[in-house]
């Protein structure tokens, strides 16, 4: 995907990261094992962070291992994560995906994804139910694998569309690939920091229902603003 409206990608992203950092450093991130981050990401879609984290903590406390989650009844898991959006669908996806991983790999260790070419690692994850590009990228980047790939959730996608870096109908995968390609020198930590900074902007100022453009550190570059 080529950036729209004359942005050159690399330099603009560096400038945006600097402006967002000036508003405050990103919060600290707890890196989980890849399968733990996979589960957390699968239940977090369209759900507030505090709610999805509480649901994930309940899963861990009740089942203790991905193997026990894979063998649990879907309805039981749905009750455990009841506060997240689409809890029933997500419970079904969790069971199917964890069972599929166990059948294929003989367990739940996903460290091999740290050595595979990035495109292959993403594609391997995206074959499973409930795993799109956002979940796959989060599993690779936000976990202990710490791979250099950009996570694009609904907040981040909205901001890139409003900035004009991405078209109005651009998909998360296209934006992820564009930013990952533009910032080829970045480490996994740098991609995660930028994701957290952009997400924070989307949660606080660049909200879906109303945008606080006057207080936005990216207002000078924003086509929508």
CB-based contacts of 60: which residues, under 8 Å, 6+ apart? 36
pLDDT score of 8: 63
The Cα 163–Cα 161 span in angstroms is 5
The Cα 92–Cα 189 span in angstroms is 32
Total length of the chain: 225
- Phi then psi for residue 211, to 5 deg, are -110, 135
pTM, two decimal places: 0.94
pLDDT score of 65: 98
- Phi then psi for residue 110, to 5 deg, are -115, 20
pLDDT along the chain (225 residues), means of 10: 58 96 85 98 96 98 98 98 98 98 98 98 98 98 98 98 94 97 97 97 95 94 90
pLDDT score of 28: 79
Quick one: how far is CA 222 from the chain centroid? 23
pLDDT score of 52: 98
pLDDT score of 5: 41
The Cα 23–Cα 148 span in angstroms is 24
Ordered by where they begin, the domains of the chain are 10-27+149-221 (1.10.1670.10), 34-141 (1.10.340.30)
């Amino acid at each position: 995907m080529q950036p729209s409206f004359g942005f050159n990608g690399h330099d603009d992203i560096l400038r945006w990261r600097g402006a967002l950092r000036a508003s405050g450093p990103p919060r600290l991130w707890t890196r989980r094992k890849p399968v733990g981050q996979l589960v957390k990401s699968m239940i977090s879609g369209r759900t507030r962070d505090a709610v999805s984290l509480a649901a994930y903590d309940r899963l861990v406390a009740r089942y203790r291992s991905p193997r026990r989650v894979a063998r649990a009844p879907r309805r039981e898991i749905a009750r455990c994560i009841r506060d997240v959006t689409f809890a029933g669908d997500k419970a079904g996806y969790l069971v199917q995906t964890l069972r599929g991983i166990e059948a294929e790999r003989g367990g739940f260790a996903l460290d091999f994804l740290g050595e595979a070419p990035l495109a292959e690692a993403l594609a391997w994850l995206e074959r499973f139910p409930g795993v799109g590009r956002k979940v796959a990228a989060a599993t690779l980047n936000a976990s202990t694998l710490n791979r250099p790939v950009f996570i694009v959730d609904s907040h981040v996608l909205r901001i890139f569309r409003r900035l004009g870096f991405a078209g109005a109908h651009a998909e998360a995968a296209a934006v992820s690939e564009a930013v990952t390609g533009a910032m080829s020198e970045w480490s996994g930590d740098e991609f995660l920091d930028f994701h957290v900074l952009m997400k924070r902007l989307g949660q606080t100022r660049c909200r879906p229902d109303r945008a606080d453009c006057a207080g936005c550190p990216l207002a000078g570059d924003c086509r929508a603003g």
